[in-house]
Amino acid sequence: MRFPVPGPTYPPWSAEKVKNEVMVLMYLREHTTIPLPQPEQLAPFIVMDFIDGACLDDLLRQPTESNQDRLILDPDLAQTKLELVYSQIANYILQLSRLPLPAIGAISKDSDKWVVTGRPMTYDMNELVAYTGFPEGNLPSEPFNCASEYFRQRADELWTHLYTQRKICETKEAARQMFIARRRLADLIPKYCIDDDKPLFRLFSDDFGPFNMLADPETLRITAVLDFEVANAMPA
């Protein structure tokens, strides 16, 4: 059973994030061989089948005495096991790269066809409204049909963030650098973001990594990839 965690998840968005995650799981189970849990029921939470395995991130890291210690790859890990992990993840990314979608945003199923119908719900958006006082009304409310529209929206969000979170900078120089970076980003969008007549986008998740994968502790064969609540069709 998977719940949106109060606090880290902006409460008004809990239902939207749960629905988005279920849609992504269904889509990937239909179109890929990525090992995924089967969502059994959708409510304010997700009921899914149990999959055995340990967190892949824990299996790859060097054992430490404290949670404060620096996390590094375990040097005693067999090269064959490490290559197996890399090859599995590379295969998942390759499969995702072969699934074109027509717009930027959250996916859903309309009859027998997968479409993009919702706004892109990203990890960064959640952090902004949950912790910085960012005005929710300044965030997107619908999908984007081209990459330039999306990047212009992101540039506007970065400006608003700099203005609304007054303690984001500790020094005048830091504020100056952030101001310049935002101006440069806005200037670069029309120069480098050239939209195609028929743009295609790919599914991307901010949380795709070993920390959200389960694996057999002995073989490091991945048994499940988890946490797709911030997965969206995005510019490739």
Phi then psi for residue 235, to 5 deg, are -55, 135
Q: Which of 75-79, 192-196, 219-223 has the highest mean pLDDT?
A: 219-223
Please give the residue that has the higher pLDDT: either 65 or 78. Answer: 78
What pLDDT, on a 0 to 100 scale, did the predictor assign at position 198?
72
- pLDDT beyond 90 at 55: yes
**Cα separation of 108 and 117, whole Å?**
6
pTM recorded for the entire structure: 0.89
- Look at residues 102, 114, 98 and name the one whose alpha carbon lies nearest to residue 199: 102
Report the percent of the chain where pLDDT is more than 70.
Answer: 92
What pLDDT, on a 0 to 100 scale, did the predictor assign at position 48?
73
Lowest pLDDT segment from 14-18, 85-89, 113-117, 207-211: 14-18
- Average pLDDT value over all residues in the chain: 90
What pLDDT, on a 0 to 100 scale, did the predictor assign at position 4?
59
Please give the residue that has the higher pLDDT: either 236 or 227. Answer: 227
H/E element holding 153? helix 147-164
**Cα separation of 115 and 112, whole Å?**
10
Mean of pLDDT values over 148-161: 95
Please give the residue that has the higher pLDDT: either 14 or 216. Answer: 216
- pLDDT beyond 90 at 165: no
- Look at residues 233, 178, 171, 227 and name the one whose alpha carbon lies nearest to residue 200: 233
